[in-house]
Amino acid sequence: MAPRPYYSERGDRIDSTAPVTVSRYRGFTRANHWLTALCLIVLALSGLALFDPSLYFLTGLFGGGQTTRWLHPIVGVVLFLSFMLLFVKLWRLNMPKPEDTTWVTRIGDVVKGNEDALPELGKYNPGQKFVFWAMTGLIVLLIVTGVLIWQQVVGHLVSVPVRRVAVLLHAISAVLILLVFILHVYAAVWTRGTLRAMTRGTVTGGWAWRHHRKWLREIASRDNKGPAE
């Protein structure tokens, strides 16, 4: 029985060798990722519109205030379900690894792009893992507090004091997840070649070797011709 992959998913594979192209995400995972991102954007805009009267003009993007009011919580539920699919698929590879501590202590080399001073990594680096777990915790907190203040659903089952606390936590969580989302987008753009993984599903061999060498070594060492996850 073949050992379970440690740094990669079973479907990750080297597509070609001239030039080297490596499959990183299959179509379902990419669609799931973009659905989650779209939900976050819609929730950010609609949430801001409901947060302060000065931003109420944003409701025009969704057809007015009434539409925004019922759309926001529904999209929130879609976000939760969409992200949970990603969580089930990716949580194992986002668990801490021994080399992560060394990577974090050398964050200066990360910023400078001095890859030779950094340890070899699996499919995700500590920064990506932080985004993953931050998103997980904040989305869970948002869905819980969101339901508590969803009067059409819970009605009088929730007391006013509890609802007030839920509103505060919901707003704080929304601001934090927006910051994490901006960080995620910035890092994807800043690290050249990263966006290709979520648009085409593949990365170049040079990119994989530079940023995720243990992941590349593992998939290169096994004979696996299945579809990338």
Annotated active-site residue 72? The verdict is no
Cβ atoms within 10 Å, residue 136: 17
- Mean pLDDT, residues 80-97 taken together: 96
Lowest pLDDT segment from 13-22, 43-52, 211-220: 13-22
Taking the C-alpha atoms of residue 168 and residue 171, their distance in angstroms, rounded to an integer, is 5
| Range list of H helices, 27-154 | 27-51, 65-90, 98-105, 107-112, 126-148, 151-154
More confident residue, 193 or 3: 193
Residue 134 pLDDT grade (very low, low, confident, very high; cuts 50, 70, 90)? very high
Task: Record the tokens describing residue 79, joined without a space.
Answer: 């976000």
Output the six-digit token pair for 76: 């929130």
In what helix (H) or strand (E) does residue 16 lie, and over which residues does it extend? strand 13-17
Pairing state between β 20-23 and 13-17:
antiparallel
Q: What is the mean pLDDT of the chain?
A: 90
Decide if pLDDT at 227 tops 50.
Answer: no
pLDDT at position 223 over 80? no
Residue 152 has pLDDT above 90, yes or no: no
Per-residue pLDDT tens over the stretch 20-36:
899 999 999 999 999 99
The answer to whether the predicted template modeling score (pTM) of the entire model surpasses 0.85 is yes
Mean pLDDT along residues 110-121: 84
Residues found in the chain? 229
* Percent of the chain surpassing pLDDT 90: 72
Kindly report, residue by residue over 34-63, the tens digit of the pLDDT. 999 999 999 999 999 999 899 999 999 999
Of these residues, 33, 72, 170, 184, which one is catalytic? 184
